[in-house]
């Protein structure tokens, strides 16, 4: 069952050299994402603009395939009276963060970084369980890294969502890929969720540690040195990225591409990695560099934030599987869940 939904590899692993050309790559990636959305969605449904929290940027909001705001989807709260309301900062939107399930290299205790390794059997189970835990939380658009373990986690999780919408990977690797992956049924689009892959959400690149056994590496270089490479904020492993370098690309992408979606009222899920998600959480929770290095994220455990009035409010921060189903539902999310209950009872 799982094999039918998760093998959607996209793009190639980006090397450490991207950091030296970040601005050029960021602009190029943003333009490619907009082109894909324009090919996949009707033109009139695309061109809406909004600003982020600081008001310093105007970013094109990539509307969901289904136009899945409360204006269109009858399951969502009808509290907004017209489409124009979706640009107001008072809108409430859900943000779900999921670290991918265990990978085959996690299982073997190897440094993975940007090597494109799939989930293990345990990781597949974790992704499915994560999907059950968020099955009553609305999702309008999904962002993943360019790595298969994050994409597998997102796809498998959505197979468990009660709304039953199908996640569809948007392909931007070529003009032919964009053209050939178009959907021509409006009804089908309304039952779909766009999935956008971005290398900026990749795990941090571990350089010369990638593929090495963690215990053998500690024996060779010393536990203190390996701990410094893994848990310091600004010290990279040999020819790799530090957490600070990973944060530069991940947070910039979040602010430029994901935050405008939330500001427009879209409910967003991000399936990514320990260090790229730690970087984003550092931004959301305003953590210091010392606080973020002690932050640990379990594989396959969803975290829930609410974006409202320009602020991110953590509504669920489970650190163990036993806590993962405990989310402080807002009134709007509780209403959404009640409507799903009514629909499927």
- Residues 6 or more apart whose Cβ sits within 8 Å of residue 182: 39, 40
Alpha helices in the chain (DSSP H): 3-6, 22-40, 104-107, 121-133, 148-158, 175-180, 186-190, 214-221, 223-231, 243-253, 259-263, 274-285, 289-292, 331-344
Report the greatest alpha carbon distance in the chain. 64
Catalytic member of 18, 92, 100, 102: 100
Q: Are 146 and 125 in contact (CB under 8 A)?
A: no
- Give the distance, in angstroms, between the CA of residue 226 and the centroid of all CA atoms in the same chain: 28
Give percent helix, percent strand, percent coil of the chain, each to the nearest 5: 45, 15, 40
208 is catalytic: no
Token pair of 20, please? 């030296």
- Residues 6 or more apart whose Cβ sits within 8 Å of residue 106: 112, 120, 123, 299
As a whole number of angstroms, the distance between CA 156 and CA 165 comes to 12
Q: What region, left, alpha or beta, does residue 212 occupy, with left being phi > 0 and alpha being psi -120 to 50 degrees?
A: beta
Is residue 185 exposed (0-12), middle (13-18) or buried (19+ Cβ within 10 Å)?
A: exposed
Catalytic member of 92, 102, 126, 203: 203
As a whole number of angstroms, the distance between CA 94 and CA 305 comes to 6
As a whole number of angstroms, the distance between CA 199 and CA 26 comes to 10
- Residue whose C-alpha is closest to residue 13's, from 148, 136, 132, 110: 148
161 is catalytic: no
Catalytic positions: 100, 203
């Amino acid at each position: 069952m799982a094999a039918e939904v998760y093998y959607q590899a996209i793009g190639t692993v980006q090397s450490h050299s991207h950091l030296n050309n970040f601005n050029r790559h960021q602009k190029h990636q943003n333009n490619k994402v907009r082109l894909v959305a324009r090919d996949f969605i009707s033109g009139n449904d695309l061109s809406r603009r909004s600003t982020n929290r600081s008001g310093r940027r105007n970013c094109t909001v990539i509307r969901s395939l289904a136009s899945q705001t409360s204006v269109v989807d009858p399951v969502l709260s009808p509290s907004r009276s017209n489409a124009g309301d979706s640009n107001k900062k008072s809108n409430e939107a859900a943000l779900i963060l999921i670290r991918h399930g265990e990978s085959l290299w996690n299982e073997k205790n190897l440094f993975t970084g940007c090597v494109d390794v799939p989930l293990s059997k345990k990781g597949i189970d974790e992704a499915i369980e994560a999907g059950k835990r968020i099955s009553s939380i609305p999702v309008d658009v999904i962002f993943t890294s360019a790595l298969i373990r994050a994409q597998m986690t997102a796809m498998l999780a959505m197979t468990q969502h009660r709304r039953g919408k199908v996640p569809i990977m948007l392909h931007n690797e070529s003009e032919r890929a964009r053209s050939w992956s178009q959907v021509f049924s409006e009804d089908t689009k309304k039952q779909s969720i766009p999935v956008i892959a971005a290398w900026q959400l990749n795990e941090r690149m571990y350089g010369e540690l990638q593929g090495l056994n963690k215990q053998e590496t500690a024996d060779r270089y010393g536990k203190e040195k390996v701990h410094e490479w893994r848990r310091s904020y600004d010290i990279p492993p040999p020819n790799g990225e530090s957490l600070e370098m990973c944060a530069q690309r991940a947070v910039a992408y979040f602010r430029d591409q994901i935050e405008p979606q939330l500001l427009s009222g879209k409910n967003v899920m991000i399936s990514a990695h320990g260090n790229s998600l730690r970087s984003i959480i550092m931004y959301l929770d305003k953590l210091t560099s010392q606080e973020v290095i002690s932050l640990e994220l379990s594989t396959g455990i969803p975290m829930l934030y609410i974006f409202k009035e320009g602020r991110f409010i953590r509504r669920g921060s489970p650190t163990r599987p036993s806590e993962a189903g405990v989310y402080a539902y807002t009134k709007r999310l509780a209403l959404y869940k009640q409507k799903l209950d009514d629909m499927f009872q």
